[in-house]
Every structure is written in C-alpha cells, then in structure tokens.
Amino acid sequence: MKRRVKLLIAALLAASAISATACGNPVTAEAEGEPPVVDIPSDVDLQTYVLPLDAYIFSLKDHRILDRARAIITTACLERFGYRVAVPQIPEPLQSKNAERYGIVDIGKAKRFGYHPDPLLISNRPVEPELPAGAYAVMHGEVSTSTGTQVPEGGCLGEARRQIKSVEQDRMAPAYALAGESSRKARNDSRVTAALGQWAACMAQRGYQYTDPLKANDDNRWQEKPSATTDEIQVAVADVECKRATNLVGVWISVESAYQERAVEKNSESLRELKTIMDRELRNAATVSAGAR
C-alpha cells in the first residue's frame, strides 16, 4: 500500500497539552528563535494553501506543463530516427502537493479509504507508450548514432531539456533544502509539539495510542491489506477528527509558513534568480505545447 503522507513527519518529542490552538488568537513562542505567528486559521484548505517556498519549487501543475513539452520534443526527436511514438496523455493533477502534507485531512476519504490512497489518484496517471526496439537507447543517449544519424547529447531527452532550458537539479536543490529545513524546524517548534500533544491526547481518549499522525498512517496493520479494514477506517476518522478538534493543521501550517518566510527573506537574492530561471522554463514549455496543437 502506498502511504498517504507526502511529507514524512518526525517522531513526536513531547505530548504536553497546552492551550495554544485557539482560533484567531496569537500563538506565542517562548523559545528564542521561534518566529512569531499571529493568525492561526481554524479551517485550512491544504489543497489551495500556498507556502512561501512553493514559489521556488515546481507545483504538480507546473510539472504537467513541463512533462508535456518534454514528451512532445522527445517524440519528435525519436521520429527523426524512424521511431513513431505517440505523445503520452498527461492528466491534470487531482490534488496539490500540499493536500496531504500532514497526513489525511479529508473526513470523507477517511471514511471510504482509511489511510489507503484514493483510487482516483492511482488511476490518474499518464500511460507510458510502448517503445519500439532501439528507441529507448536513442531516447536516453545510450548510443551515439542511429540509422546513420548523430544522436543528440543525452539522447532525445537531453534535447528536450536543452530546448526548454530545464533548470538543473543542483540549481533546484537549495530550495528543496530550505523547505526541508523549515519543515524540520516547524516539527520541533514548541507550538507544533504542543498541538501534536493535544492530538495524541485526543486519540488516546478514543482508545488509540499513537504519538503522532505518521505512526497512525504507517501502522503495519494497514500496510498488509489491499484496502481499508473497519479498524483502519475508524482510526483514520479519529485522526481527522482529532486534527480538527486540536486545530493541528492550522497551527502546523502557520508555523511552517513562518519558518519558510524567514528562509525566503534570508535567501531572497538567490531565490529570485531561481524564480527567473523557472519562469523561463515554464514559458518555453508552454510555447512548445502551443505549437503542437
């Protein structure tokens, strides 16, 4: 079973329950170095929520634009070498990368699927076309020539990356590193650990001994089953209800946003440069797709 959680949550450090999640009230940070957080939303839509560093990391919709452009260029390149391959259909993503950032939050899905993924998400994936014999090597640049013609450096995929001026992975790495560091700091922030403690206490009142949502999500009992059992559904529903009762998600996303905002301010120049390169790649990809219609 593929887990729902998109961002791994560290183990719970403390289970103290203090009143820190009141809707609309400032949540103070006693520990030095914790960024201030004033507004704590009580009803967060993670599907549409945008974190400060999201501007410097391609979204799932961005990836669809880029993947389609690369596919168009790659298949056109393969055709030059006599390989006719259909451009794969790349569906629109059904949810954002933040939708299940802190585990399951949709009570309807919890009641239907427990911690198992929504079948629609599984079926909403591009279907890779079958490649004729020899096409793979040309696509990946494993041969230098084919049918007497020079293969582009890095194959047809390399040609696609160069044509849309793809951002190199090492250029993107700092943004991912900043997001990961902000996530770690938020997880260890006193306000988040307090909210996690409240969540764990709420779960305990319902008879479930989990110290954090990841442990509930990753319970080995669920991993062994192809679909949700009654017990799994009951735990998942309690998980979501306790998140709501303690406003865990509202506190967590607000605190993580504060850490990300601090990271953006400290790295503004390099991030602006990265954003310029990302925007250029997206424009180039959109031009390729528009020309193929």
Nearest to 6 by CA among 126, 121, 113, 170: 121
Residues of the chain with pLDDT > 90: what percent?
74
- ∠ Cα 104 109 113 (to 5°): 95
**Residue pLDDT, tens place only, 160-218:** 999 999 888 788 999 999 999 999 999 999 999 999 999 999 999 999 999 999 899 99
Give the CA diameter of the chain. 73
pTM: 0.81
Least confident of 150-154, 237-241, 280-284, 287-291: 287-291
Nearest to 282 by CA among 151, 165, 132: 165
Q: Who wins on pLDDT, 28 or 44?
A: 44
| Tokens standing for residue 285 | 């990809």
Is 143 within a domain?
yes
Fill in the amino acid letter for 117.
P
Q: What is the pLDDT of residue 224?
A: 83
Reported as type and span, the H/E element at residue 183 is: helix 169-188
Range(s) of the domain holding residue 188 = 52-103+111-287
- Supply the DSSP string of 204-225, one letter for each residue: HHTT---SSHHHHHT-HHHHT-
- The pLDDT of residue 235 is above 80: yes
Is 29 within a domain?
no
Q: How confident is the model at residue 113 (pLDDT cuts 50, 70, 90)?
A: very high
Average pLDDT of span 228-234? 96
51 in Cβ contact with 260 (< 8 Å): yes
Q: How many residues does the chain have?
A: 293
Q: How confident is the model at residue 20 (pLDDT cuts 50, 70, 90)?
A: very low
Is 3 within a domain?
no
28 in Cβ contact with 189 (< 8 Å): no
Is 34 within a domain?
no
**Residue pLDDT, tens place only, 52-63:** 999 999 999 999
Average pLDDT of span 28-37? 68
- The pLDDT of residue 24 is above 50: no
Average pLDDT of span 7-30? 30
Q: Collect all residues with Cβ–Cβ distance below 8 Å to 116 and sequence separation of at least 6.
A: 1, 4, 222, 227, 228, 232
Is 292 within a domain?
no
Q: What is the dihedral of CA 240, 245, 248, 251, to 10 degrees?
A: 140
**Distance in angstroms (rounded) separating the CA atoms of residues 81 and 194:** 61
Is 35 within a domain?
no
Q: How confident is the model at residue 293 (pLDDT cuts 50, 70, 90)?
A: low
Share the mean pLDDT of the chain: 87
**Distance in angstroms (rounded) separating the CA atoms of residues 166 and 88:** 20
Strands (DSSP E) found in the chain: 145-146, 149-150
Is 235 within a domain?
yes
Q: Give me the number of domains the chain comprises.
A: 1
Q: Between β-strands 145-146 and 149-150, what pairing exists: parallel, antiparallel or unpaired?
A: antiparallel
**Residue pLDDT, tens place only, 242-267:** 999 999 999 999 999 999 999 999 99
Least confident of 48-52, 159-163, 166-170, 283-287: 166-170
Nearest to 136 by CA among 150, 157, 160: 157
Is 24 within a domain?
no
**Residue pLDDT, tens place only, 69-95:** 999 999 999 999 999 999 988 888 888
